[in-house]
Amino acid sequence: MNGIFQLAGSRHAACAASPDGKGDGTMQSRSAQKPAKDAPVAEQKPALAGIRVLDLTQVLSGPFCTQMLADLGAEVIKVEGPTGDIARSMPPSFIGNDSTYYVAINRNKRSVVLDMKTAAGSDAVRRLALVSDIVIENFRPGVCDRLGFSAEKLREEKPSLIWCSISGFGQHGPYRDKPAYDMIVQALSGGMSLTGERDGTSVRAGIPIGDLAAGMYASTAILAALHRREVTGRGETIDISMLDCQAALLSYQASFYLASGQVPGRQGREHDSIATYRTFKAKDGIELVIAALTERMWTSLCDVLGGPDLVNDSRFLTAHQRSINRNQLWPILEDLFLARNADEWRQALDAQGVPVAIVNTVDRVAVDPQIRHRGMVLDLASEDGRQAQVMGDPIFMKESRRSSHTFPPAAGEHTEAILRELLGMNADEIDAMIASKSAFVREKVTQTT
């Protein structure tokens, strides 16, 4: 972008900006850059090509969000402190100096390492923000103000800037300054109270849904703000709370309580109202999920299972009766499923149109034919020979999908290039920042253990 303020796919003109982000009044039309309707797909760029993101986040929620934007084609500049992103050192497995945790959520980015507590480092971050379209941070509320690059100040200098903050509880409210982690917000949101066996204790979700949902909501908000900017020329200040996101995911469970006053409990491996929507264990100990929601599916399930005449049993004639008498139905079905192995049941039920799935372990997911067919396992390779496999981008765009992916950057891998290209710094200025420990290049970054 070379310091030019550009509107994403704009129907309007864009105002040129100098490297410090201040417009000079020049109008530049983007319409000439639009591909013709009949342009070959190979010539069309990813959807967010031309959008620059300054990524001040670490660990999971923020990096997951910025990786989504990078997968869609945005240029993502990852700013790290002198010890690098905490996620780089998270055990148990590593590829080179970086953990697989970090590698999973940081592809397609460039890394610059700055000490934001120094005047020169803080000023560099401010200047990078002013030549970016979007800034994303997940510090505790108030930290950016103390470091000297708050949303309010930067948006005064550049009204078109989109600023997104992700935090545990948001930028205001009684919990604002409390520390928050994924499991904390899962607990506070009520989601954990719905998870686990009915007669057991509450458990957290197997994936870090508190962090991931916040990252996904943030990316949605950012894309909405980009559209608003296209129309109005103004950016936005976005406040994403992990707790808010988890509360929103309560969906119909919260509506049920708010309407009835009844508090829903742990769901276990079954459904509150559908008796044949649950897991069953097969002969080989592998679990299957059955989702026989219609009468046709129920009849087909009974035909495949064999055994007693369940279809004509007066206790199970309708879905409502099966729900009422679930505690009588389940032991019968559990015994029948023990007659064959999981893969045998899957094939037989698939053939009869009964929705069925094996409860896959992660190793089975990695080789699942549908997952492989869709390219959901990516092979990444770095220039220095490191290799990794990660889960891919689930957003498939026919004409603007990213065609290749870069290995997650080493800490400070692009420090010099970014300071030179985006801030116009010369070699002496960059060397001075490195000498004063305001900036760090790859080999000088402290590796945490």
Catalytic positions are 211
Q: Which is it for the CA torsion 351, 352, 353, 358, positive or negative?
A: negative
Which residues have a Cβ under 8 Å from the Cβ of 265 and sit 6 or more positions away?
Answer: 193, 194, 198
- Rounded Cα distance, 277 and 272, in Å: 9
R_g (Cα) of the chain, nearest Å: 26
Nearest of 336, 337, 360, 357 to residue 346 by alpha carbon: 357
Q: Which of 223, 180, 222, 237 minimizes the C-alpha distance to 60?
A: 180
For 25, the 3-state DSSP assignment is: strand
Instruction: With CA atoms as reference, report the closest residue to 145 among 154, 136, 134, 135.
Output: 154
What is the token pair recorded at 68? 């989504």
Helix then strand then coil, % of the chain, to nearest 5? 40, 15, 45
Cβ burial 168-207 (10 Å sphere, 16+ → b, else e): bbbeeeebeeeebebebbbbbbbbbebbbeeeeebebbee
What are the start-end ranges of the H helices in 37-99? 61-71
Nearest to 69 by CA among 219, 242, 230: 219
Asked if 271 and 199 count as a contact pair (C-beta separation under 8 A), the reply is no
Stretch (H or E) spanning 299: helix 295-305
Residues paired with 136 in a beta bridge: 55, 164
- How far apart are alpha carbons 36 and 82 in whole angstroms? 46
- The residue type found at 41 is V
> Could you give the 3-state DSSP secondary structure of residue 163?
strand
